Amino acid sequence: MAAPREFSLTFETTPPAAVCPGLPFTVPVIVAVRPIGTPSHTVQLVASASLRDEAGTSAATGLGGSLTAMVRSRTEPSMSGYAKFAGLTISRPGKYRIRVMLSTSSVNGVMTKECVDSGVIHVHAAAPAAQRPTPTTVAKLQRLTAENLDISVADIAKWQSA
């Protein structure tokens, strides 16, 4: 029998659908972390990103950038919040997914709790060098400026004009 889920993971900002090999994603990938019920004890929440094949069934190599992030929010310490992955790059052409895994760290050690996979990312030389955020993404990013993620209004303006 599977253990009950303790956390829910969702992409607040998704990876781009297409990128050039080796060029950083313009907008950081941000995952929202929410507890399901009340966690039994206080833990530190850490998220890590990895590259998977297009089907999500096998690990792939070539993901670079900030691959580990503390779950942060405007109230610290928190059992919910956001993990921000900035400057992500994929070095090789192909089709991939990014998997974000949530782990907890406590006096009992580190345990992986949940994971979520992105949509397919097509990495090819003809992809745009930069990705402009959609109006919906801009609205999410503006809301997230208050969440202790080091995202400023100036950052958002820079991403919009990329």
Q: Does the pLDDT value for residue 2 go beyond 70? A: no
What average pLDDT does the segment 24-40 reach?
87
Strand bridging mode 7-13 / 63-64: unpaired
Distances (CA, A) of 72 to 33, 59, 66, 104: 9, 27, 15, 13
pLDDT > 80? residue 30: yes
Which amino acid makes up residue 4? P
Q: How far apart are CA 4 and CA 24, in angstroms?
A: 36
Set out the domains of the chain in order of their start, with CATH numbers: 7-160 (2.60.40.3960)
Q: What is the pLDDT of residues 115-135, one digit of tens each?
A: 999 999 999 999 999 999 999
Output 3 or 153, whichever has higher pLDDT.
153
By the 10 Å C-beta count (0-12 exposed, 13-18 middle, 19+ buried), 109 is classed as exposed
If you average pLDDT over residues 140-162, what whole number do you get? 92
Separation of alpha carbons 11 and 89, rounded Å: 17
* Pick from 104, 38, 41, 35: nearest CA to 70: 104
Q: Between 98 and 40, whose confidence is greater?
A: 98
User: 38-82 pLDDT, tens per residue?
Assistant: 765 667 889 999 999 999 999 999 999 999 998 988 876 667 899
pLDDT of residue 1: 36
Range 14-31 average pLDDT? 96
> CA 115, CA 28: separation in Å to the nearest integer?
18
